[in-house]
Amino acid sequence: MALSTLPDSQVLITVGVDTHADSHVAVALDQLGRLVGTRTIPTTPAGYAALLAWASTLGTVDRIGVEGTGSYGAGLTRWLRAHGQVVIEVDRPDRAARRRQGKTDDLDAHAAARAVQAGTATAQPKAGDGTVEMIRSLRLARRSAVKARTQAANQLKALVVTAPDGLRAQLRRLPLTELVATAARLRPAATPATPTDAAKLALRSVAGRWLRLTEEITALDVQLDRLVAAAAPALVAVKGVGTETAAALLVAGGDNPQRLRSEAAFAQLCGVAPIPASSGKTTRHRLNRGGNREANWALYLIAVGRMAWHRPTRAYVQRRTKEGKSKAEIIRCLKRYIARELYRILVSAPAT
């Protein structure tokens, strides 16, 4: 319910939104941080339009802080950006604050607006409307297919372990691909009447699932190769950067990597920027365990690959080893250098 019924065009409105699957709760604050009103909207384009119209009646909409811009708030974020609004990505309130203040949707929305006004939330959300968003969706599908295929392979091996003696002797020493092919060719009885018939039917079923998942993964790989090459041809042209690592870095940056203000911001996003941990006379840094872990994994693969074949990298490793650095510490340094190199390529990629 609005606390002020007199709209003023001179009032600058900051909106905070707590997002959910079926509804969003919005809180409006004026430039002095005073509560102006609250509103609950459905998660539909009509609801998004109602939110913006409501906020506009309270004053001039300055910025809108949205929680969960990559999940429940993705649709609202895209709609607002398409209608010229400045959207700020807001992290959920920390647990200590929630313990002190309690937890309601209104409080979370209020905290989002406060974070925007205080400048603690400044990140631009991913656009989510181009080729990189397509890559993200296909990678999710591929990941689930790979996981399901691994489960099928484990189930197939487990069935062989407990199969009747004759069937187990036939299959137990076969490598996975041969095991799948052999199990898929089994011809059990139409109506299983013995444990052997049931085992054959189960083995053929799981083997068929493994083959179908393999076909699905192959089809997704074809599309991912095409999309990644189109989104960042300069990135995949870098030796040691494949489709999977390039896709992970592209998804981390989003369709609008220019939102990352510097290569240091990109390194922080990827979790390869050392965290200061100094106190008193002690000056040190600690390992960054945050950031996008898939992007961190991609940089790790590139670094380890270069340690094997890249002459300057091998020379660097030798020099740092003589200085007393461990292999893990050297890889962390390499990931930071690689992030700096690839950031320039990411931000220079053509918009899609």
Amino acid at 239: K
- Look at residue 289 in the predicted model and tell me its pLDDT: 85
- Residue ending a domain, among 61, 87, 118, is 118
| Domain contains 124 | no
- Residue ending a domain, among 206, 231, 256, is 231
- Residue ending a domain, among 231, 248, 265, is 231
Task: Give how far Cα 274 sits from Cα of 76, 149, 289, 290, Å.
Answer: 34, 37, 9, 10
Q: Are residues 186 and 245 in the same domain?
A: no
| Domain contains 143 | yes
Q: Are residues 266 and 332 in the same domain?
A: yes
Q: Are residues 207 and 308 in the same domain?
A: no
Per DSSP, helices labelled H in the chain are: 45-58, 74-82, 95-101, 105-118, 131-162, 165-171, 176-184, 195-231, 233-236, 243-253, 263-269, 293-309, 311-322, 327-348
Question: Which H or E run includes 60?
Answer: strand 60-67
Q: Are residues 242 and 329 in the same domain?
A: yes
- Look at residue 217 in the predicted model and tell me its pLDDT: 98
| Domain contains 260 | yes
- Look at residue 348 in the predicted model and tell me its pLDDT: 86
| Domain contains 158 | yes
| Domain contains 2 | no
| Domain contains 125 | no
Q: Are residues 172 and 74 in the same domain?
A: no
- Look at residue 117 in the predicted model and tell me its pLDDT: 95
Structural domain harbouring 210: 131-231
Q: Are residues 150 and 227 in the same domain?
A: yes
Q: Are residues 279 and 316 in the same domain?
A: yes
Q: Are residues 104 and 139 in the same domain?
A: no
- Look at residue 165 in the predicted model and tell me its pLDDT: 93
Amino acid at 73: G
- Look at residue 2 in the predicted model and tell me its pLDDT: 46
Tell me if 161 sits within 8 A of 147, measured CB to CB.
no
- Look at residue 1 in the predicted model and tell me its pLDDT: 43
**Integer Cα distance of 56 and 114 in angstroms:** 19
Tell me if 38 sits within 8 A of 23, measured CB to CB.
no
Q: Are residues 102 and 135 in the same domain?
A: no
The total of structural domains in the chain comes to: 3
Q: Are residues 99 and 135 in the same domain?
A: no
* Average pLDDT per consecutive 10 residues, the chain (352 residues; last block may be shorter): 51 95 96 94 97 95 94 95 94 68 85 93 89 96 98 97 94 95 92 92 97 98 97 94 96 92 93 85 79 95 95 95 92 95 88 54
In the block, residue with structure tokens 């372990």: 161
Residue 33's domain is classified under what CATH number? Answer: 3.30.420.40
Q: Are residues 241 and 213 in the same domain?
A: no
Q: Are residues 189 and 256 in the same domain?
A: no
| Domain contains 3 | no
